[in-house]
Amino acid sequence: MAMKTLISSSFSKTLETSIKSAIQTKSYNQIPNLLNSIQNPNPNIFNFLSSYPQSQKTQIIDEILQSFIHIHPRSLPQLTYSLLLSHILQNPNPFPLSLAILQGTLRSGCFPVKQTHLSLSSTWINYRGECSNNTVTGILSGMKNIGYKPDLGTCNYLLLSLCAVDQIDESVRVLEEMGNVGCEPDSESYGIVIGWMCELRMVNDAIELVKKMGRVETRVELREGVVVKLLAAIRANGEIKRAVEMIGFLDKSGFWVGFDGYEIVVKGCLEKKEFVLGGKLVMEMLEKGFIPHIRIRQRVLEGLVSIDEYKFACMIRQKLVNI
């Protein structure tokens, strides 16, 4: 065991020397091949960069990232990206350099390791809490100071990381301030945050965020899967009338409500014995060309008949016949 450890240590030293040499000669394209000769260097092979001044470290990493833009195959530097990002996130000044590395990773088509969500979000929260000057806008705009521009891929990954550890309030701050640095949130940005709010049953917050989307001058699409999550969360809270109202708001605001969204709410109406509301939704579905499953429409018709709404039941039946 001691011999194995000694050999491993010796190999790591040799590897570190080779990487230092590649950096000194600016032969950065050699680094991925050097690192890919081992599975998972531990400790992080880039820890030696800690002894470099911040400006020199930033310059070196920037040059490495730039050299990887045209490398083939594009997945070749995946381990290098991962190790660089892990190293910088553990440093006293992790931002904005870590975001630049993250951006390079995502643009190459590579994906950070799963643990990155935790390390990025915890580092972000700690860094934000250290000083009141560490604002969301300030951190994101710091990317411009080192030659990078915040983009949707980077910001959306940050949103996902924060939501994954239930930092919903912070994710909303990021969402609200992205536009300050020229990176307007898109449907994925809103979808990430609203989706997680629904998962955590933060229904009021999710509804408020959807309403904010409706007030955005530049129309942002609300994806159908997110609409379904939202309506399902409202239904799960037992607020079926509110779910029906939400469909009305979405429709009026130009957001698409598909078949699954309608059916979820119709089922909720049946559970709460709100047969008239369920009937109205079925009529809306039919107007849009959606035909409810046979069991659902039968239960709606039976429910209407049970409360003496014969005329309404006949209207729905006739509409079905016409279709």
Name the residue among 250, 177, 186, 191 with its Cα closest to residue 218.
186
Between CA 171 and CA 159 the distance in angstroms is 5
Number of H helices, E strands in the chain: 17, 0
Between CA 57 and CA 88 the distance in angstroms is 10
Between CA 16 and CA 116 the distance in angstroms is 23
Residue 81 has a pLDDT of 96
| Predicted TM-score of the model (pTM) | 0.90
Residue 136 has a pLDDT of 97
Residue 6 has a pLDDT of 38
Name the residue among 257, 258, 306, 297 with its Cα closest to residue 279.
297
Going from the C-alpha of 266 to that of each of 65, 225, 234, 263, 298, the distances in angstroms are: 52, 17, 13, 5, 12
Phi, psi of 115 (to 5 degrees): -65, -15
DSSP string of 289-301?
Answer: T----HHHHHHHH
Residue 213 has a pLDDT of 85
Going from the C-alpha of 224 to that of each of 88, 209, 228, 258, 299, the distances in angstroms are: 37, 16, 6, 7, 26
Between CA 97 and CA 108 the distance in angstroms is 17
Residue 199 has a pLDDT of 95
Residue 257 has a pLDDT of 96
Residues of the chain with pLDDT under 50: 1-7
Whether 269 and 278 have beta carbons less than 8 Å apart is answered as yes
DSSP string of 192-247?
Answer: HHHHHHHHTT-HHHHHHHHHHHHH-SS-----HHHHHHHHHHHHHTT-HHHHHHHH
Tokens of 49: 């960069």
Residue 218 has a pLDDT of 64
